[in-house]
Chain A
């Protein structure tokens, strides 16, 4: 794979008389991807973002962005990084367009009203450009923060809990915005504790807890590797016992012989292609064995199930 756009090695942050917020984190982010950092509250997501963006002073480790060492060449690196914080921190008395213009200047860009108009329009904020930020709704304030973060056209954008406290409709809206940014070639790192969000948006997922990255993988691979499949097969006639060709599969008889329930996939299947492929093989075996079935209902476990299982296992370990 090509060189990472952001490369973190051994990043550690220990607060005075506090817990270790980051514990030797290694992470590589590649150009053009959406990376979701997933973890419970207090896992270290915001600290990790803060360390990259200059809000937190790391205790140890190295960070490189665009090939620049962040501890030395932070100016060149930061000019290409944008941050949308979790808290709705805005200058309440400033107007929307002036706030965005300020961000543009602060990051060293020449004043570009056309670009600001473009950004505000893309975030449906153009008709609010002269409104004071305090007069806006929570969802709009969030979009103002995004507009500010985009004002210097960052190549790498951090979104810390972009949809926290945002209603369902706005959340879908936000997902579209993020997808549009990716289209434009912006690399995005988002943190969330809504697993649904990571499932919807991310190319790759990192799971963090207690300041440690537990796992980083492509979302699909993670779901394939760790996910499980449940298939319920309704039989045409009751079945008393499983024929040997069927018993080889992780399947059991239910509902007084009227149903077969398959539970497999993930690491337990030991098969390539995961549970769905195995279910397909099993249905062929059923046909060969002369067992008729009337319906087939397949359900894959979500990233949420994986997440809960993974955190549970680590808890037990």
Chain B
């Protein structure tokens, strides 16, 4: 198995440069949005809310908000990263280069992951201005954030290859990821939902992600952490397999 490190680095650097070129869009705007959530839900409304599972409401919503931004940004970043070259035609260069699936993924997905992690760090730093919180298992939290970032970067990559219009590109994050994250217990514990909605909520895979991250933050969760980790790893594996098949068949990449 060949791996051309220089090629992967070239793709990675270019994707990172693209992010810095559009720093406002890719960093400042999600930070601003999240800050607004903290102000409204964390400080203003949160002050009137009961603690959930022993965690003050303002702190309780941090993992969910982080997940909301992480999923949305990582997915759309990775999907744009591969969709734009397809759209403009510059993908000819990637396809004609001595570069295979491993380098392409390392470059595109690695960059999307890095951007997701930078974003997460900024959001967590921003959160300290609005609420007091402590992370109980920082290592687990970091690992979990990276796992989620890489899974959804892969997912975004698939999306960017599948989409054949800007509309399709935007539709999945907007119509599926964001609603599912909101419904997945970002602002509440799904255990507090009346039956049968607590069971229905567990059909939402993102509920497991939010719960997993919340566990690493505060040691409280709606579902066991092992289930959350297992599900995320499973999703990652499925995405890797799908991408391997895409490269093998050349679907939407090679005529």
Contacts and interface: CB of A to CB of B under 8 A. Distances in A.
Interface of A: 15, 47, 50, 53-57, 74-76, 78-79, 81, 83, 85, 87, 89-94, 98, 102-110, 148
A256 B100 CA distance: 74
Contact of B92 (A55, A57, A109): A55
Q: For chain B, what secondary structure do more than half of its interface residues adopt (helix, strand, loop), or is it mixed? A: helix
A106 B13 contact: no
A106 B254 contact: no
A252 to B, nearest CB: 53
Interface of B: 2, 4, 6-7, 9-11, 13-14, 17, 21, 88-90, 92-100, 250, 254-255
A167 B7 CA distance: 36
Nearest to B96: A53
20 contacts: A50-B255, A53-B92, A54-B96, A55-B96, A55-B254, A83-B92, A85-B89, A87-B89, A89-B88, A89-B90, A89-B92, A91-B90, A102-B13, A102-B14, A103-B93, A106-B99, A107-B7, A107-B97, A108-B6, A108-B98
A294 B146 CA distance: 90
Contacts of A85: 89, 92
Nearest to A90: B90
Contact of A54 (B13, B90, B95): B95
A56 B255 contact: yes
Contact of A53 (B10, B95, B100): B95
Contacts of B14: 94, 102
Contacts of B100: 75
B6 A79 contact: no
B121 to A, nearest CB: 26
A59 to B, nearest CB: 11
Contact of B6 (A57, A91, A93, A105): A105
Contacts of A93: 21
Given A75-B2, A85-B89, A98 B17 contact: yes
Given A53-B96, A91-B90, 10 more contacts: A55-B95, A74-B98, A78-B97, A85-B92, A89-B90, A90-B90, A91-B88, A105-B10, A105-B13, A110-B6
Contacts of B94: 106
Contacts of A102: 10, 13-14
B92 A106 contact: no
A108 B7 contact: yes
B97 to A, nearest CB: 5
B90 A57 contact: no
A257 B88 CA distance: 65
Contacts of A78: 96-98
Contacts of B99: 106
A71 to B, nearest CB: 12
Nearest to A77: B98
A78 B4 CA distance: 13
Nearest to A103: B93
The 9 closest A-B pairs by CB, nearest first: A105-B10, A89-B89, A53-B96, A75-B98, A79-B98, A78-B98, A106-B10, A56-B255, A108-B4
Nearest to B21: A93
A87 to B, nearest CB: 5
Nearest to B18: A93
Contacts of B93: 83, 103, 106, 148
Contacts of B17: 98
A104 B10 CA distance: 8
Contact of B97 (A50, A87, A90, A106): A106
Nearest to A51: B255
Contacts of B98: 74-76, 78-79, 107-108
A34 B112 CA distance: 42
B147 to A, nearest CB: 28
A55 B85 CA distance: 13
B89 A83 contact: no
B96 A57 contact: no
Contacts of A108: 4, 6-7, 97-98
B192 to A, nearest CB: 48
Contacts of A110: 6
Contacts of A94: 14
A105 B8 CA distance: 8
Nearest to A82: B96
A98 to B, nearest CB: 7
A87 B92 CA distance: 10
Contacts of B13: 102, 105
Given A89-B90, A91-B90, A106-B11, A83 B6 contact: no
